[in-house]
Structure 1
Amino acid sequence: MFKKKSIFTFLRAQVAAFLGGLTDYGLMILLTEIFKLHFTFSILISGSVGAIINFSINRFWVFKNHSGYSSCINNQLFKFALVVLGSISLKSFGTLILQKTFQIDYRIGRIITDSFVSYGFNYPLIKYWVFRVNEKQSATE
């Protein structure tokens, strides 16, 4: 049985992912359609901006893991940056494969790819690795 706290954490994480993803997707369209960048480059730029939004919301609202220690945030930022690099790589590659192999429009391919990357890659790593709360931290809260 799921704990009530776990369900709310998951739902808050989905709100954070949605807001970061909405920014990411909208900026990708803008950069590709208006500024004529190839969508793989647009995903790199827009993914980085969306990641900043996502990190901030996750740190302060979803996981409430924001102690004042600079080493803590540096560690979280480093881990989050690694997750973002993996995520952006998977999104770019997945979108490109769907577009080249199956002739799926990059906008649709991106949504399909995002679904798998968000739930199968981003959420587990962000929850259990980036913002993991150890027993010592949870005892003081």
Structure 2
Amino acid sequence: MFSKKSIITFLRAQVAAFIGGITDYGLMILLTEVGKLHFTFSILISGTIGAIINFSINRFWVFKNQSGYSSHINSQLLKFALVVLGSISLKSFGTLVLQKAFQIDYRIGRLITDSFVSYGFNYPLIKYWVFKTNQKQDIIKSS
């Protein structure tokens, strides 16, 4: 059902998400615990930094979608920024709901929320919208 290429792409995307996510999560805890920011603000800051790391890894290693055209990268950056904005909003809201409604510690709530947002929101949009290649580009690359 799944091709070897799609499985490898998925696994690479998970590595990129993990590296960006570890940076994001660690920075969130640092900003909240040491910086004394409310966790929703920490998620905004840490999510932005994690997103920059994630974008770079996805662009150059996972999807290898790095044409030299500045309009192409600008389009990818805009789309990625919209995904990140949605992702950060969902993570902040989900973490807040779990903390307020169910008294789940924000660190645990964030992990729970992240798992849903990463697989159900981020990955599909990043793969099929942000770094989508047309089949002509794929044929030219494989020639």
Q: Where on the TM-score scale, by shorter chain, does this alignment land: which range?
A: over 0.9
Cα offset, 1:78, TM superposition:
0.2
Aligned to 1:122: 122
Task: List, as ranges, runs of 4+ consecutive aligned residues in structure 1 with deviation greater than 4 Å.
Answer: none
Using the alignment, how far apart are the partners of 1:17 and 1:56 within structure 2? 11
> Does residue 23 of structure 1 match 2:23?
yes
Aligned residue runs from structure 1 range 36-115, under 5 A: 36-115=36-115
Using the alignment, how far apart are the partners of 1:53 and 1:111 within structure 2? 19
| Structure 2: tracts of 5 or more residues without a match | none
Cα offset, 1:79, TM superposition:
0.1
Cα offset, 1:135, TM superposition:
1.4
Secondary structure at the aligned position of 1:110 is classed as helix
Superposed CA deviations along residues 32-83 of structure 1, whole A, max 9, x for unmatched, are 0000000000000000000000000000000000000000000000000000
Using the alignment, how far apart are the partners of 1:109 and 1:87 within structure 2? 15
Cα offset, 1:139, TM superposition:
1.5
Backbone CA RMSD of aligned residues:
0.3
Letter in 1 for 2:47: G
Cα offset, 1:136, TM superposition:
1.8
Secondary structure at the aligned position of 1:41 is classed as helix
TM-score, reference length from structure 2:
0.98
Superposed CA deviations along residues 12-51 of structure 1, whole A, max 9, x for unmatched, are 0000000000000000000000000000000000000000
Aligned to 2:8: 8
TM-score, reference length from structure 1:
0.99
Using the alignment, how far apart are the partners of 1:11 and 1:139 within structure 2? 23
Using the alignment, how far apart are the partners of 2:136 and 2:21 within structure 1? 32
Cα offset, 1:140, TM superposition:
1.1
State the number of aligned residues.
141
Using the alignment, how far apart are the partners of 2:40 and 2:107 within structure 1? 11
Using the alignment, how far apart are the partners of 1:117 and 1:2 within structure 2? 22
Aligned to 1:35: 35
